[in-house]
Amino acid sequence: MRLTGRKTVALLWMFLVVYTSQSIAQTARTAPAPSLADGSFIWQRLDVQASSEIADLLRQQYDQSRKTGTIPGYRLQLYFGSGVQARSHAERVRADFNALYPDTRIYLIFKSPDFIVRAGDFRTKSDALRVLKSLSAGFANAFIVSDEIAFPGLGIQAEIKN
């Protein structure tokens, strides 16, 4: 099937319109990086090109995290249960995990009527997955959960939360 002259010109014209619009869409547009006066942000030491709204959101998140002492992250959930023996079983799971992994923080959480045992303060899901894969067979039912983790640099002991 041969294309006539008009069809060829129309096809070429459509190709040019699509091609040039895609190349224009790929052109980088950068705004000057806002200056952060207090110097407490790591972003100030990096060459980040962002709008002032992004800098304001980062500042708000940083301030909120400092107030609460937590940031969004991940933990491994080792146990979840309720009932008469739930507390003793949760404490046993906590002790078993602590014996095998003494350097990992472990949390015994009580949310009425459930007892939950969670371990670790992982900033990324891949960090949590790496530890999950290395767990022994005694924790075969462990899984990753999204949680508020301890702000880096703060020492928090194992605790029971209400």
Bridge partners (DSSP) listed for residue 70: 150
Q: Are strands 106-111 and 160-161 parallel, antiparallel or unpaired?
A: parallel
Show pLDDT as tens, one digit a residue, over the chain (162 residues): 455 677 777 777 776 666 665 555 555 555 554 444 444 556 556 676 778 888 888 888 878 777 777 788 999 999 999 988 999 999 999 999 999 888 888 999 898 889 999 998 888 999 899 888 888 777 888 999 998 887 665 444 444 444
Structural domains in the chain, CATH included, are: 30-68 (no CATH), 71-161 (3.30.70)
Assign residue 9 a region: left if phi > 0, alpha if psi is -120 to 50, beta otherwise? Answer: alpha
For the whole model, what pTM was predicted?
A: 0.57
The CA distance from 109 to 94, in Å, is 11
Nearest CA-CA partner of 50 in 62, 32, 36: 32
CA distances from 161 to 36, 98, 130, 152 (A): 36, 18, 26, 20
